[in-house]
C-alpha cells in the first residue's frame, strides 16, 4: 500500500508555512561505538531498514559509472552500498573514505569475504582530501553521510574539495536527508523506516533527521562549488531525501537483471520504500533508473 494515514498527516504538516526547525548536529560526529556501528551495518543488509533506499540509489549510481572510472565514495561507512556498487561495476576502481576506524574495519572484512578486489579503503576526512590531486576522479558518490558533518562550514569545505577533485566532465551522485519543517514529521518517518529495528538504529535515524542540512543550503553550495556540473533534487512536498546529481546517465549501464533480483528479495516494507522514492523523487524532477 503506497499511502497511509500517517503519511497524509505528515504531508499536511510539511505543507505549512513555518520554516524548518533548527538543525541539531549529531551527538557522535564519528560513529565508532560498537553497538551503533553494528546496528547501522545491520540496517544496510539486504533486508534491513535501509535496503530499499540503497537499491534506489544503487541504480542511480550505476547509471553514471563507466568502465575504467576512478570513483570516490565519501563516508562509505561499513561498505554495504559500496560493496553492491563495486560488485556491479567490476571494471571501475573505487576508493572509499571514512573517519570511523570501526566502520572501515567492517567494510574491509566485507570486501575480503565477498572477494571484491576493486575497492581501496582510506581513513580520511571528507572535508580535507589533500591526499588526492586536482581533477583526480571520474565520479564521486556518497550516501547518507553529509549530515554527519558538524556545521555548514564543514559542509562547505566538503563541497569545495569535491569541486576540486572531480574532473571537469566528471559525474556525481550524492544522497542525504533534507531538513524537515516539523519535528513531529521526524517521528513518523523514523517509525515507518525503522520499525522492528534495534534501538541504536532508531536513535541514529532520529538524530540523522535532526542533523540534516536544508535543501537551500545544498543548492547554494552546489551553485558555488560545482558550478553547473550538478543539480539538486528532493522528494516532492517535503525534502526528506535530497539528491545531488551531475553528468549524463546511461540506461545501458544499469544492470537491470541484477537490480530486479535484489528488489524481488526485499521485504514488502522495503519494496514500498523503493516505490515511494521513485514516485516522490520523480515528482521532484528526478527520473528513476530502476
CATH number assigned to the domain comprising residue 119: 3.40.50.150
- On whether residue 288 sits in a domain, the answer given is no
User: In the prediction, which pLDDT does 4 show?
Assistant: 65
**Assigned C-alpha cell, 44:** 544496510
pLDDT exceeds 80 at position 215 = yes
What does the pLDDT look like over 165-210, one tens digit per residue? 999 999 999 999 999 988 888 988 888 777 677 788 888 889 999 9
Per cent of the chain over pLDDT 90 is 75
Indicate if the pLDDT at residue 82 is higher than 90.
yes
Check if the beta carbon of residue 73 is closer than 8 Å to that of residue 96: yes
> Could you tell me the residue range of the domain that residue 277 belongs to?
5-283
Q: Is residue 81 part of a domain?
A: yes
- Whether 173 and 229 have beta carbons less than 8 Å apart is answered as no
Measured distance CA(120)–CA(162) in Å, rounded: 18
**Domain assignment present for 289:** no
**Taking Cα atoms as reference points, which of 76, 49, 45, 42 lies closest to residue 205?**
49
Residue 175, beta-bridge partner list: 143, 243
pLDDT value, residue 2? 47
Give CA–CA dist 119/130, Å, rounded.
Answer: 20
Question: pLDDT above 70 covers what percent of the chain?
Answer: 97
* Vertex 56: Cα angle to 55 and 58 (nearest 5): 60
Summarize pLDDT for 224-280 with one digit per residue, the tens: 999 999 999 999 988 999 999 999 999 999 999 999 999 999 999 999 999 999 999
Average pLDDT, the chain: 92
Kindly state the DSSP code that residue 259 receives in the 8-state scheme.
Answer: H
Number of domains in the chain: 1
Q: Is the pLDDT of residue 68 over 60?
A: yes
Name every residue whose Cβ is closer than 8 Å to that of residue 207 and which is 6 or more positions away in sequence.
Answer: 24, 26, 27
Angle at 109 between CA 52 and CA 150, to 5 degrees: 65
* pLDDT (mean) for 11-30: 81
Predicted model pTM: 0.94
Q: Could you tell me how many residues make up the chain?
A: 290
- Domain membership of residue 195 (yes or no) is yes
C-alpha 286/C-alpha 244 separation (Å) is: 10
Amino acid at each position: 500500500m503506497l499511502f497511509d494515514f500517517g503519511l497524509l498527516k505528515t504531508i499536511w504538516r510539511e505543507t505549512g508555512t513555518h520554516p524548518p526547525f533548527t538543525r541539531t548536529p549529531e551527538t557522535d560526529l564519528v560513529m565508532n561505538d560498537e553497538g551503533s556501528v553494528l546496528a547501522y551495518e545491520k540496517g544496510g543488509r539486504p533486508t534491513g531498514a535501509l535496503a530499499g533506499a540503497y537499491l534506489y540509489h544503487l541504480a542511480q549510481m550505476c547509471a553514471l559509472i563507466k568502465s575504467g572510472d576512478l570513483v570516490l565514495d565519501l563516508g562509505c561507512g561499513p561498505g554495504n552500498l559500496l560493496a553492491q556498487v563495486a560488485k556491479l561495476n567490476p571494471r571501475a576502481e573505487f576508493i572509499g573514505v571514512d573517519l570511523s576506524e570501526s566502520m572501515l574495519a567492517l567494510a574491509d572484512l566485507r570486501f575480503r569475504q565477498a572477494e571484491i578486489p576493486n575497492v581501496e579503503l582510506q581513513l580520511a576526512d571528507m572535508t580535507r582530501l589533500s591526499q588526492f590531486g586536482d581533477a583526480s576522479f571520474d565520479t564521486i558518490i556518497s550516501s547518507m553521510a553529509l549530515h554527519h558533518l558538524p556545521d555548514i562550514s564543514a559542509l562547505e569545505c566538503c563541497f569545495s574539495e569535491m569541486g576540486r577533485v572531480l574532473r571537469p566532465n566528471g559525474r556525481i551522485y550524492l544522497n542525504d536527508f533534507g531538513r524537515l519543517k516539523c519535528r513531529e514529521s521526524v517521528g513518523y518517518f523514523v517509525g515507518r523506516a525503522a520499525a522492528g529495528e534495534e534501538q541504536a538504529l532508531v536513535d541514529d535515524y532520529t538524530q540523522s533527521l535532526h542533523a540534516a542540512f536544508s535543501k537551500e543550503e545544498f543548492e547554494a553550495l552546489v551553485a558555488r562549488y560545482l558550478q553547473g556540473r550538478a543539480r539538486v533534487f528532493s522528494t516532492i512536498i517535503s525534502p526528506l531525501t535530497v539528491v545531488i546529481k551531475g553528468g549524463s546517465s546511461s540506461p545501458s549501464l544499469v544492470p537491470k537483471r541484477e537490480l530486479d533480483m535484489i528488489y524481488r528479495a526485499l521485504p514488502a516494507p522495503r519494496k514500498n520504500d523503493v516505490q515511494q522514492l521513485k514516485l516522490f523523487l520523480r515528482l521532484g524532477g528526478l527520473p528513476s533508473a530502476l
